[in-house]
């Protein structure tokens, strides 16, 4: 099968390698020729040090790479999803299935990634792939599980078959709303958990953040029309565990830095690694407000990042909220 992966960051590169190993003809597309040339010359992605790109993996920056593909994987940062869709639109072949693996909500519109694709590329079947999946581990063929979601069950299962192998287990779901909202919100919670760690607090604080965040997230999913229990599966709790606790997590690392008093915007400096939670904090908080859902943890992270609130004050306010029952 001919497949193009759009976006040559760590995650796009790891998935391109996985798909090629599964026997497909894969092209990895970079947003600019300089990035593609660097990959060709170095033979590896700087964000996956020590992992060699396999022979036969085509590297390009030409949008024509999507022509005649049965599957196109969208792996840009969430803020670049709309622009990426616009760039490849003239070259897509009717009948191609589109899979988004980016995690976020567009700030201006409140749209999820699949909704952006549907708006820019009408008429194509669209699925989402999400779950606890550090690119560093997937690229090294360490056991990983994800969820392929599409309202059309047959498409979700088709995508499941394409990605699944002995190292990468994929489950199917028809709840693309829940799966995508989990992917966006968990990065915000990873920032919160990292901030608590950076301020010198322990595992209890992390566990508190994560468990209460699941309650917030289930309410958001329900209000958006998704299935509440999705947040307790791989896309929700699974991804939250790995993102909130691992040293591989860019969002967790950024949160630790903020908790220690540093200023962190949308990337991690020298690594040029995108901190998706930074962008998601505003957009998810705005979406929750639009849907009438109260998400105290997300709101506090948003206030810290964009309104100058001190992390210690935010945590105190969370702890001193009016008492209530757990559920």
Q: Determine if residue 263 is left, alpha or beta; phi over 0 gives left, psi from -120 to 50 gives alpha, anything else beta.
A: beta
CB 235 within 8 A of CB 147: yes
Q: Which whole-number Å values give the CA distances from 272 to 10, 48, 181, 264, in the listed order?
A: 11, 13, 25, 12
HSE, side-chain direction, 13 A CA sphere, residue 58: 16
Q: What is the enclosing helix (H) or strand (E) of 253?
A: helix 250-259
Q: Structure tokens of 287?
A: 């979406």
Q: Report the candidate in 285, 306, 305, 304 with the shortest Cα–Cα distance to residue 295.
A: 285
For the chain, the helix, strand and coil percentages under 3-state DSSP, each to the nearest 5 = 55, 15, 30
DSSP state letters, 277-323: HHHHHHHHHHHHHHHT---HHHHHHHHHHHH---HHHHHHHHHTSPP
Residues assigned a catalytic role: 186
Strand partners, 105: 112
d(CA 144, CA 63): 30
Give residues with Cβ within 8 angstroms of 82, minimum separation 6.
Answer: 106, 116, 120
């Amino acid at each position: 099968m001919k497949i193009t992966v759009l976006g040559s960051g760590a995650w796009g590169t790891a998935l391109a390698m996985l798909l090629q190993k599964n026997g497909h003809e894969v092209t990895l597309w970079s947003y600019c020729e300089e990035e593609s040339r660097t990959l060709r010359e170095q033979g590896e992605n700087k964000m996956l040090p020590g992992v060699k790109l396999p022979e036969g993996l085509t590297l390009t920056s030409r949008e024509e790479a999507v022509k005649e593909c049965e599957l196109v994987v969208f792996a840009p940062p969430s803020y670049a999803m709309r622009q990426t869709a616009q760039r490849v639109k003239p070259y897509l072949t009717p009948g191609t299935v589109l899979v988004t693996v980016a995690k976020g909500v567009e700030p201006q519109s409140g749209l999820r990634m699949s909704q952006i694709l549907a708006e820019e590329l009408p008429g194509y079947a669209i699925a989402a792939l999400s779950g606890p999946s550090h690119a560093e581990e997937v690229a090294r063929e360490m056991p990983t599980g994800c969820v392929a979601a599409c309202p059309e069950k047959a498409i979700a299962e088709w995508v499941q078959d394409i990605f699944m192998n002995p190292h990468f287990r994929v489950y199917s779901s028809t709840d693309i709303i829940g799966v995508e909202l989990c992917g966006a919100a968990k990065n915000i919670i990873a920032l919160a958990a990292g901030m608590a760690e950076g301020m010198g607090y322990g595992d209890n604080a992390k566990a508190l953040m994560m468990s209460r965040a699941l309650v917030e997230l289930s309410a958001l999913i329900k209000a958006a029309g998704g299935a509440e229990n999705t947040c307790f599966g791989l896309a929700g709790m699974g991804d939250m565990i790995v993102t909130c606790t691992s040293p591989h997590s860019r969002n967790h690392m950024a949160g630790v830095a903020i908790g220690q008093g540093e200023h962190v915007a949308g990337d991690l400096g020298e690594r040029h690694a995108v901190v998706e939670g930074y962008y998601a904090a505003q957009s998810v908080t705005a979406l929750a407000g639009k849907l009438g859902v109260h998400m105290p943890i997300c709101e506090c992270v948003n206030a810290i990042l964009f309104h100058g609130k001190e992390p210690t004050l935010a945590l105190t306010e969370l702890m001193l909220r009016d008492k209530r029952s757990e559920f």
